[in-house]
């Protein structure tokens, strides 16, 4: 498996990956249609993805991860929101998502990003160094699921609300 930047030809496959990955996800109400693929499409249309990677094995795409700028409080640059990350159901639990996250951290750190924020399961994301930080909030989400990974030497995380791109709102 290799991780690479998305190309134009991946667009429809990426949408299909996110749709399939979240089709029966517990975060959605039973029978509700997933919207993660629409977030990616809206981020792409707005030219708002700061990083978009795919996991590829042979000629097949197995997963995708997207990042967008994430202002926090009064800090308007340097922080990136991870999401969504999706892996085809038959490849979940096999390290595809982890490989995407690890490669993205390396790339963002090399590009001098200040850090990464996300809303997600602490039990999963702590293995990559993400944790809760006092004063970091995502409106409407319990703080236990609001995580950050500083990428700079000082390790500081800004306080305030994470402002996601409007693509996340629908």
pLDDT per residue rounded down to tens, the chain (170 residues): 999 999 999 999 999 999 999 987 666 555 567 889 999 999 999 999 999 999 999 999 999 999 999 999 999 889 999 999 999 999 999 999 999 999 999 999 999 999 999 999 999 999 999 999 999 999 999 999 999 999 987 888 999 999 999 999 86
CATH number at residue 77: 3.40.630.30
CB neighbourhood size of 119 (10 A):
18
Question: Tokens 């490669």 identify what position?
Answer: 103
Cβ count near 144 (within 10 Å):
9
Domain count of the fold of the chain: 1
Domain encompassing residue 106: 2-168
Distance from C-alpha of 159 to C-alpha of 170, rounded to nearest angstrom: 26
Q: Give residue 83's Cα distance to chain centre.
A: 2
Q: Which of 146, 168, 142 is nearest to 159 (CA)?
A: 146
**pTM of the model as a whole:** 0.94
């Amino acid at each position: 498996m290799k991780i690479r930047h998305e190309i134009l030809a991946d667009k429809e496959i990426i949408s299909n990956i996110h749709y399939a990955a979240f089709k029966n996800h517990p975060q959605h109400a039973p029978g509700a249609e997933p919207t993660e693929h629409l977030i990616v499409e809206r981020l792409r249309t707005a030219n708002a993805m700061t990083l978009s990677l795919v996991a590829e094995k042979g000629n097949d795409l197995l997963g995708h991860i997207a990042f967008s700028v994430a202002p926090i409080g009064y800090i308007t640059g340097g922080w990136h929101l991870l999401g969504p990350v999706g892996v085809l159901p038959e490849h979940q639990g096999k390290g595809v998502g982890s490989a995407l996250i690890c490669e993205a951290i390396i790339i963002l750190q090399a590009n001098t990003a200040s850090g990464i924020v996300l809303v997600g399961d602490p039990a999963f994301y702590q293995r990559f160094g993400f944790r809760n930080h006092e004063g970091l909030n995502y409106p409407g989400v319990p703080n236990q699921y609001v995580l950050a990974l500083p990428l700079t030497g000082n390790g500081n995380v800004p306080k305030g609300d994470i402002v996601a791109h409007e693509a996340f709102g629908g």
